[in-house]
Chain A
Amino acid sequence: MEAPLTRNIRPNEMPPDLKAYEKSGGYQALRKALGTMTPMEVQKEVVDSQLRGRGGAGFLTGLKWSFVPMGTESRRPKYLIVNADEMEPGTFKDRLLIEGDPHQLIEGLILSAYAIQAEIAYIFLRWAYKTAGRRLQTAIEEAQAANYLGRNILGSGYCLDVSLHTSAGRYMCGEETGLLNALEGRRAVPRAKPPYPQVCGLWGKPTVVNNVETLCNVPHIVERGATWFQRLGAGKDSGTKLFGASGRVKRPGLWELPMGTPIRDILEEYAGGMQNGYRFRGLIPGGASTDFLLETHLDTKMDFEAVTAVGSRLGTGTMIILDNRTCPVGMVANLLTFFARESCGWCTPCRDNLPWAAQTLAAIETGRGTDEDLEILAFQCRMMAPGRTFCALAPGAAEPLQSALKYFREDFQRHIDQRRCPWRQP
């Protein structure tokens, strides 16, 4: 089984430096693209590969690029932004990719910037990723020294400047447009779309924001072709994906597997099944902002369409597993507390709803719930439905809540009836 993204990654070892990366075939894709391909050809390869964004939304990367105005008419400079603000609870895939093979990201970044003819790139890094930051900075300097970055890259005439920007540390900064505002030094509130960033993004100029994992795929697509990439997938989606599992499994971790690998395979084969004494109750498949799935869904393939079909989202593909000895109400209360804190305060259904929902869940969890609370929670989910809020934060926060109300309703009721959490000692 091929694992192009993690081929150079050795856990607990230093990442390959420039020499080692080049030795493993690194920067060959870049040489190929700059030497023999036009930007539009690079775009076409990525369009053909059917690569979908790995940040969670699964938008076709090539399609996203195609909205960028090209040619001499376009307003300049154009920007490529790497979204490395990995703040989704339970998600740590981008961290592995940056820490383990920073040059892979940089090569993907240069190729993608070339494809949209961006002159300036920013890597927007999560505040807490100190090691990743150091390794990236070293890699950027190495790449600059080797003329993979800067003026007239490899004699092609193409120029690109890359800067590493460390976030101040807010979940909202990971939202595409919130990130742009944060990068401009403004409050990280989202922007209304349209206009889309591809037309009017950073400092009002054409901008593409891509996730770390998405960009890491690009060198391999350029080097080995779209068809090869499509064949990597086991389901409808192409390529491989970093899947993760956390919770009471035997071997929590992160694995590069074909897109469309069934949940059961990941859970049992790679994560080793549940720890002794713990039974599986459910999971959220892709970070905190996705709906719960149950045992009946375990044969679902982990690709964008299949997970959506069973009522959740692939998201970041890093699962959080709920076991029988953990209170689902407590888990949801914990998640909602996080989302309430991270709301930017811009739109009403998020700003004023989430804290109320978190308070209500905390009340139920601590035995102060009432029957009416379940109605209120249902009302709150309705208020946060997609399209009713300004950005995707609140709908994302509503997903674990609405699915928990659906799947674990009797647990909520027991909390209210018994006036305590059944999982806690009386």
Chain B
Amino acid sequence: MTTIYIDNRPYEVAEGQNLLRACLSLGFNLPYFCWHPAMHSVGACRQCAVKQFKDENDTKGRIVMACMTPASEGTRISIDDPEAKAFRAGVIELLMVNHPHDCPVCDEGGECHLQDMTLMTGHTYRRYRFAKRTHRNQDLGPFVTHEMNRCIACYRCVRFYRDYAGGRDFDVFQWHNNVYFGRQSDGVLENEFSGNLVEVCPTGVFTDKTLARHYARKWDLQTAPSICVHCSVGCNTIPGERYGKLRRIRNRYNREVNGYFLCDRGRYGYEFVNGPQRIRRAMFCYQPETAAEPFGRLAAIERARVLLEPCQHVLGIGSPRASLEANFALWTLVGPDNFYRGVSAKECRLTDTAIDMMRSSDMPAPSLHDVERSDAVLVLGEDLTNTAPMLALAVRHSTLQREIDLTEKLHIHWWDDAAIRVALQQRRGPLFVATPAETKLDDVATHIYHGVPDDLVRFAQAIAEALTAPIRRPEGMSPDLTALVEKVAETLYLAQRPVIVSGVGCGSEELIRAAANIAKALGSAGRRPGLAFAFPECNSVGLGLLGGGSLEEACRVATTDRAAAVVVLENNLFRRVPEPQLRSLVDRSRHLIAIDHEENETTDFAEIVFPSASFAESDGTLVNYEGRAQRFFRVLVGAEETQESWRWIWELLPKEQQAAHAWESFDGIQADLAQTMPAFAPILQTSPRAVVRIVGQKIARQHARFSGRTAIHTDQDVRETPPPVDRDSPLTFSMEGYQRMVPLSIAPRQWAPGWNSPQALPRFQEELRSLQELDYRGQTLIARLPSEESGYFASLPPAFERRPDEWLLISLYHIFGAEELSVLAPAIAQLTPPPYLALHPDDADELGLDQDDEVEVKIGGQTLRLASRWNLSLARGVAGISVGLPGVPPLELPVWAGLKRVVSA
């Protein structure tokens, strides 16, 4: 720490820190545009000018840009200096020369950094009297609206898109005051993180296109802290609601998890909450083969209780996309022996193995922040961009880490972004990507290896062996591959913070174990490697920790033991195992009760359907890929009969059990869970109890400027109705409540006086220590076991060999379309590819297949017809199937199967 003087008062700041960050962290209002807390300084906009003085006797001083000036002992600056203030107002005046005065019709209005900064500098009157320059806008696809006339050329968009996220199809064009930020021509933005442009842009050039379709002013949105449900990373979000409709998702800063950004699936998948497939009322199916009809909430509960009461035992099918509390409620209802996880046996095995490996690792699983800071990463088998996108972004960022460390020798400050990029050029730190097919991370990888899952296992085992793990070295590896193995082993060994990222995506337990072998070998050599696994869904880890049998086991029990009733929790079983296997479970003679928020094949089969709440309408806990339990809060009150699954389940409990389980509120079920299963006790620390008040108030979900409170429901009733009661959290569905800053884990919005845009964030960062102490960080639920020296996994599968008439089918993943809920959002659906089977072009030739020709695949009694595609990165004899996309049934891959060209009649 070092002492600097701001307007003659001393402050302690980190030495070498740039003065802008230092001033913002100290709570000063210093306007800026081009600086971004994750992308740092380039000095382009000249907005953060302050006056710097040589010493206390210097009265003249000179204007410097705070973002480009390091803090050193005795640095003296003035923010309030009249010349500096006049210059800052002048910069705003210049930025506003071409900026349209369209705030009243601009989607950014009310959340616009340019508006905030204009007010902050005091510029009010435009002296420019000539014609403004104008631009043609582009159609950038379903996510982002483009309005270039509003551009103030801060260069943040292009720095994010190209430099940070690795996008190639977006750039800055043209010259002088005609600079243009966009694509070479109209078209869908190709990068998976394009939605961040909306938050990165300080004004309304890039706005949320999905929000525009059901627009509401930002200050009219009711918001609450939430967690993304579209993959296992668990990014922190702030969904916004108005008139019962979810309007948009915004990033919520969490230093350890997603930081400042979200992926497009997470940002735009939310529209399923408003979809026509939502179930809003309790339904009853009078006769098999007919559609269920609304039955009335109480009648449905009564009916279900009558159904369940005489049953000897009831099978409960949980779900990896339901909260910990919902699954626990079902577990309580049916009893531990009858609770099943609702995923295939294979997925259970994979998840359990990965969790075991995490438990036996010496280090906690690395957070995204840890991955970003890693100086050597090995990706094993997982197509991260499509299965855990933000993890991919962290891995991409890690490739700069070691090189940034090196630039210190050149006396370049770590925040001097442009200088760092000049110094680094194309040099990137070590990233090894070993996957079955090409991935989007290949472009930053220092080395790439493509191989089928078994070959990846051999590769990983060879690395572990090279790191002196006492296992057999695979034989018959090519000299090139052997050299690569040596290189990976050496690089990981020499790294300060190596990370190995794998996952369940390859469908190979051996691969998970082999990845753990590498971590273990590194650990034995005195290193501290991070080991992370990507999981299939938002609560796969939570469900794995809860335990329970597989869906196939449930089916088996159902066949042998005529259990009369099945309760399915937020799960479409038809996505889990092939339909024939489900027959015994969804037998018409059995009573099937489904609790879900989306209509699907399973609810179609159900006799009684209860409308559960989506993430936006409920409180709950999700456990992410690291084992981090995080709380999400209700954003809106569910429509009609919607309520949390655990509330429905409580109502189905026998009377005497209801008394034993005091689940009147979320705190009640959480406490019950923590008591019943002490391993889950840390979840009590993920959020404050519902009784917590700040200066006697609940935290307001609605902004102080929320409009229409007294008129919002006058079409139904002229009386002002009291706000809904929230028994579950210290938040209230009202604008009457605490409005000031609270820790981000319970903050409904990121707002500070004068800072209405996402740029209010620096005001919430760790530098503001008083808030940090209060924060409820996510809690890890993975208890570490002492590592055992003998625990190496020694098995070595044979090397892949082509078969004459069969292909090895492997999984290919898609960020858009392969996840159950987000695909229901129209914007995501628009980018979902049709299902396909990918082959090496030579293999396709052999089969006489052209691109898009239909190809028939027979797997385990199922026959699929898919469009064929070429993929040069696949080995010959291997075929990839776009798993999870609508129209692709559940498959257990990898598996060998024959392919046949379909000859059209």
State the A residues within 8 Å of B (CB): 170, 187, 191-192, 194-195, 199-200, 203-204, 340-349, 351-356, 359, 363, 372, 376, 379, 382-383, 385, 387-390
User: Are the CB atoms of A195 and B412 closer together than 8 Å?
Assistant: yes
Q: What's the Cα separation between A204 and B421 when bound, in Å? A: 9
Q: Which residues of B contact A388 (CB under 8 A)?
A: 46, 49, 63, 87
Q: Which residues of A contact B410 (CB under 8 A)?
A: 195, 199-200
Q: What's the Cα separation between A195 and B423 when bound, in Å? A: 9
Q: Which residues of B contact A383 (CB under 8 A)?
A: 87, 90-91, 94
Q: Which residues of A contact B422 (CB under 8 A)?
A: 191, 195, 200, 204
Contact of A191 among B127, B175, B419 (CB under 8 A): B419
- Contacts A/B (CB < 8 Å), 23 sampled: A187-B172, A192-B68, A194-B411, A194-B419, A195-B410, A195-B411, A203-B425, A204-B422, A344-B175, A348-B44, A348-B45, A348-B153, A351-B153, A352-B95, A352-B177, A356-B94, A356-B128, A356-B130, A382-B86, A383-B90, A387-B63, A388-B87, A390-B46
Q: What's the Cα separation between A347 and B98 when bound, in Å? A: 15
A171 CB → nearest B CB, Å: 10
Q: In this complex, what residue of B is CB-closest to A188?
A: B175
Q: In this complex, what residue of A is CB-closest to B87?
A: A388
Q: What's the Cα separation between A363 and B46 when bound, in Å? A: 27
User: Are the CB atoms of B418 and A341 closer together than 8 Å?
Assistant: no
Q: Which residues of B contact A192 (CB under 8 A)?
A: 42-43, 68, 416, 418-419
Q: Which residues of B contact A343 (CB under 8 A)?
A: 175-177
User: Are the CB atoms of B63 and A348 closer together than 8 Å?
Assistant: no
Contact of B176 among A200, A351, A372 (CB under 8 A): A351
Q: Which residues of B contact A342 (CB under 8 A)?
A: 176
* In the complex, B179 has a CB within 8 A of chain A: yes
Q: Which residues of B contact A340 (CB under 8 A)?
A: 176-177
User: Are the CB atoms of A346 and B44 closer together than 8 Å?
Assistant: yes
User: Are the CB atoms of A389 and B68 closer together than 8 Å?
Assistant: no
User: Are the CB atoms of A352 and B97 closer together than 8 Å?
Assistant: yes
* In the complex, B690 has a CB within 8 A of chain A: no
Q: What's the Cα separation between A187 and B44 when bound, in Å? A: 14
Q: Which residues of B contact A376 (CB under 8 A)?
A: 127
B399 CB → nearest A CB, Å: 16
B298 CB → nearest A CB, Å: 65
User: Are the CB atoms of B47 and A348 closer together than 8 Å?
Assistant: yes
Q: Which residues of A contact B68 (CB under 8 A)?
A: 192
Identify 18 new A-B residue pairs, CB closer than 8 A, beyond the known A349-B46, A356-B130.
A192-B43, A195-B411, A199-B410, A204-B424, A341-B176, A344-B176, A345-B153, A345-B176, A345-B177, A346-B155, A348-B95, A349-B90, A352-B95, A372-B127, A383-B91, A387-B62, A388-B46, A390-B44
Q: Which residues of A contact B446 (CB under 8 A)?
A: none
* In the complex, B864 has a CB within 8 A of chain A: no
* In the complex, B8 has a CB within 8 A of chain A: no
Q: How many A-B contacts at CB < 8 Å in the complex? A: 113
Best-buried of A200, A354, A385 by chain B (most CB within 10 Å)? A200
User: Are the CB atoms of B63 and A345 closer together than 8 Å?
Assistant: no
B729 CB → nearest A CB, Å: 44
Q: Which residues of A contact B425 (CB under 8 A)?
A: 203-204
Q: Which residues of B contact A382 (CB under 8 A)?
A: 86-87, 90
Q: In this complex, what residue of B is CB-closest to A372?
A: B127
Contact with A along B712-751 (1 / 0, CB 8 A): 0000000000000000000000000000000000000000
User: Are the CB atoms of B418 and A204 closer together than 8 Å?
Assistant: no
A393 CB → nearest B CB, Å: 11
* In the complex, B312 has a CB within 8 A of chain A: no
Q: Which residues of A contact B829 (CB under 8 A)?
A: none
Q: In this complex, what residue of A is CB-closest to B154?
A: A348
Q: In this complex, what residue of A is CB-closest to B427?
A: A204
List the 8 closest A-B pairs by CB distance, nearest first.
Answer: A345-B179, A352-B94, A343-B176, A204-B423, A359-B130, A355-B177, A204-B425, A383-B90
Q: What's the Cα separation between A351 and B410 when bound, in Å? A: 31
Q: In this complex, what residue of A is CB-closest to B409?
A: A75
State the B residues within 8 Å of A (CB): 42-47, 49, 62-64, 68, 86-87, 90-91, 94-95, 97-98, 127-128, 130, 133, 152-153, 155, 172, 174-179, 410-412, 416, 418-419, 422-425
User: Are the CB atoms of A191 and B418 closer together than 8 Å?
Assistant: yes
Q: In this complex, what residue of B is CB-closest to A339?
A: B176
Q: In this complex, what residue of B is CB-closest to A363?
A: B130
User: Are the CB atoms of A347 and B416 closer together than 8 Å?
Assistant: no
A198 CB → nearest B CB, Å: 11
Q: In this complex, what residue of B is CB-closest to A376?
A: B127
Q: Which residues of B contact A191 (CB under 8 A)?
A: 418-419, 422
Contact of B179 among A170, A195, A341, A351 (CB under 8 A): A351
Q: What's the Cα separation between A383 and B172 when bound, in Å? A: 25
Q: Which residues of B contact A351 (CB under 8 A)?
A: 153, 176-177, 179
Q: What's the Cα separation between A376 and B125 when bound, in Å? A: 13
Q: What's the Cα separation between A348 and B114 when bound, in Å? A: 14
Q: In this complex, what residue of B is CB-closest to A193?
A: B419
A188 CB → nearest B CB, Å: 9
User: Are the CB atoms of A379 and B90 closer together than 8 Å?
Assistant: yes
Q: What's the Cα separation between A387 and B83 when bound, in Å? A: 13
Q: In this complex, what residue of A is CB-closest to B180?
A: A345
Known: A195-B410, A387-B63. A345 touches B423 (CB 8 A): no
Q: In this complex, what residue of A is CB-closest to B52?
A: A387
User: Are the CB atoms of B419 and A195 closer together than 8 Å?
Assistant: yes
Q: In this complex, what residue of B is CB-closest to A172?
A: B175
Q: What's the Cα separation between A75 and B713 when bound, in Å? A: 71
B296 CB → nearest A CB, Å: 64
Q: What's the Cα separation between A200 and B409 when bound, in Å? A: 11
B85 CB → nearest A CB, Å: 13
Q: Which residues of B contact A346 (CB under 8 A)?
A: 44, 155
Q: Which residues of B contact A372 (CB under 8 A)?
A: 127
Q: Which residues of B contact A341 (CB under 8 A)?
A: 175-176
Q: Which residues of B contact A170 (CB under 8 A)?
A: 175
Contact of B178 among A204, A345, A390 (CB under 8 A): A345
Q: In this complex, what residue of B is CB-closest to A342?
A: B176
Q: Which residues of A contact B179 (CB under 8 A)?
A: 345, 351
Best-buried of A351, A385, A389 by chain B (most CB within 10 Å)? A351
B458 CB → nearest A CB, Å: 38
User: Are the CB atoms of A347 and B43 closer together than 8 Å?
Assistant: yes
Contact of A387 among B45, B47, B64 (CB under 8 A): B64
Q: In this complex, what residue of A is CB-closest to B175?
A: A345
Q: What's the Cα separation between A376 and B43 when bound, in Å? A: 25
Best-buried of B152, B153, B176 by chain A (most CB within 10 Å)? B176
User: Are the CB atoms of A352 and B98 closer together than 8 Å?
Assistant: yes
Q: Which residues of A contact B91 (CB under 8 A)?
A: 348-349, 383
Q: What's the Cα separation between A192 and B64 when bound, in Å? A: 13
A362 CB → nearest B CB, Å: 9
Q: What's the Cα separation between A390 and B87 when bound, in Å? A: 14
A75 CB → nearest B CB, Å: 9
Best-buried of B44, B177, B416, B418 by chain A (most CB within 10 Å)? B177
Q: Which residues of A contact B90 (CB under 8 A)?
A: 349, 379, 382-383
A281 CB → nearest B CB, Å: 29
Q: In this complex, what residue of B is CB-closest to A75?
A: B410
A374 CB → nearest B CB, Å: 12
Q: Which residues of A contact B87 (CB under 8 A)?
A: 382-383, 388
Q: What's the Cα separation between A304 and B174 when bound, in Å? A: 36
Contact of B46 among A195, A344, A348, A354 (CB under 8 A): A348
B157 CB → nearest A CB, Å: 14
Q: Which residues of A contact B423 (CB under 8 A)?
A: 195, 200, 204
Q: What's the Cα separation between A361 and B314 when bound, in Å? A: 86
